[in-house]
Every structure is written in C-alpha cells, then in structure tokens.
Amino acid sequence: MNAALAMIAGARPKDEIQGALTVQMACTHTAAMAILGKLDGGFGPERRIATYASAASCLLRVYVMQVEVLRRLRNGGQQFVYVHHVHVNDGGQAVIGNVKKPDTQD
C-alpha cells in the first residue's frame, strides 16, 4: 500500500482525471508485480506458469499504455513538424536540424 501511495504522490497528478489515472497505474503495477512474484519460485504446473506470465504481460502492457496516456494528458497529443523550403546553390552546404550559436564568453 505504501509503495502504491508513493507512486501516486511521485506522479504528482494535476487534476482529478490525472489522479484517477495514477491510482489505476499504481493498482495495475501492483497487480503485475504480485503475479510476477508468483513466478519467482517456478513451481507448479507449466500451464499455471504460462497463465501467470501471460497475465503479467497483459498488465504490464496496460501499464505502459497508461503511462503514455498520462504523458499525453500533460503534454498534449499534438506534434508539430515545420517544413521550410531552402535553395542550396552549387558548391553550397545545408544543415538540417536546430542550429544554435555557441555561447560566447567575454
């Protein structure tokens, strides 16, 4: 319980939606770790081990999706790509990317 509460506090939800999502994330993570803990001994029928491994895999995929949803809620789901048309004459060179001047010290 303390680990789940620490995870929720560490996520620092900014509103009720993010709070609910972080609670779901903590529960999903706790469930996945509990199932993985059952695999530690490696005892039991192979079918049971395969079932536990499959359940843990599903829960961990859900957790990754929840992390992505939280990221999109915080940062927005939009990406911007700027396209500029540049002419490079014969013998010229072009640089692609963010070009910044180095900091000069006086």
Strands (E), the chain: none
Residue 30 above 90 pLDDT?
A: yes
Residues 6+ away with beta carbon under 8 Å from 62: 28
**Separation CA 58–CA 27 (nearest Å):** 14
**Separation CA 2–CA 94 (nearest Å):** 55
Residue 32's nearest CA partner among 49, 9, 55, 10 is: 55
**What does the pLDDT look like over 1-25, one tens digit per residue?**
888 889 899 989 999 999 999 999 9
pTM of the predicted model as reported, rounded to 2 decimal places: 0.64
Residue 106: predicted pLDDT: 54
- pLDDT tier at 28, thresholds 50, 70, 90: very high
**Does residue 98 come out as left (phi exceeding 0), alpha (psi in the -120 to 50 range) or beta?**
beta
**Does residue 45 come out as left (phi exceeding 0), alpha (psi in the -120 to 50 range) or beta?**
beta
